[in-house]
Amino acid sequence: MSAAAEGGDGFTAAASEGFPGRIAVLRRHGGDGRGRPHRSNEHEHGRAAARAALGLLGGPGLERVPIGADADGCPVWPAGVAGSISHSAPWAAAAAAWTRSGVRGVGVDVEVVRPRHAALWQRVVMPDDAQAAPPGAPAEYVATVCFALREAVYKCVFPVLRVPMDWPDARLATNWDVGSAGVVLDERLGCDGALAAEFRAHDGAVVALCWWTAGASRK
């Protein structure tokens, strides 16, 4: 994943050729006087990223279609679109792809790398993750990447399968040099097809993307 275009308010991310969709990452400026955005605005910030991603995806008026939420809190995308939204102040990210391209699900997560995230290590960094991590990488960075990747995987498959997941259910084969990860899910989830993931560190934040192609659920 790389930045296709950057500006003071965010960037358009370009995933590998394997992902046929579009990603938008926005930065919000201002807040409550202490550098934090008003919580009431975070939802709209995420929706603004979604509109940006839909605009990049193309289609007449697509970015003007309202994005609601279903009973499980999952965003309801326009017909024929799979997508995902995330926000972690001051960032918001969204990814979208046409289902006609073979994409069944899309998940995106953005997280600000914070020192306290080192405490997530025992929950989200599996032994294989720890072994593959770059030597000397800060614990909070490794934990944030693993958290963001697994969160993106969850947000990719849950809207389709509607089956709860635990952190170890997603096994990652992460290439830290290029920012990619192979994904294998626990068989109990009944997820056929292929899952791929990517991540990028940008200005103190990590953006992770997962997409699911081909196959069908065994449910």
Sequence ranges of the domains in the chain: 2-213
What is the CATH T-level fold of the domain 2-213, as seen in this structure? Ribosomal Protein L22; Chain A (3.90.470)
Share of the chain above pLDDT 70, in %: 85
Distance separating alpha carbons of residues 181 and 150, to the nearest angstrom? 10
SS3 of residue 65 by DSSP: coil
* Residue 114, marked binder: no
What does DSSP assign to residue 54? H
Report pLDDT for 209.
96
- Determine whether the annotation assigns residue 39 to a binding site: yes
**Over 60: is that where the pLDDT of 41 sits?**
yes
User: Which residue type occupies 30?
Assistant: G
Provide mean pLDDT across the span 14-26.
81
- Is 17 annotated as belonging to a binding site? no
| 219 known ligand binder | no
Top-ranked range on mean pLDDT: pick from 35-44, 50-59, 148-157? 148-157
Determine contact, residues 172/126, Cβ cutoff 8 Å: yes
The response to whether 45 counts as a known ligand-binding position is no
- Shortest CA distance to 198 belongs to which of 188, 210, 214, 189? 210
Rounded to the nearest angstrom, the gap between the alpha carbon of residue 181 and the centroid of all alpha carbons in its chain is 13
Residue closest to 91 by CA, chosen among 114, 67, 64, 71: 114
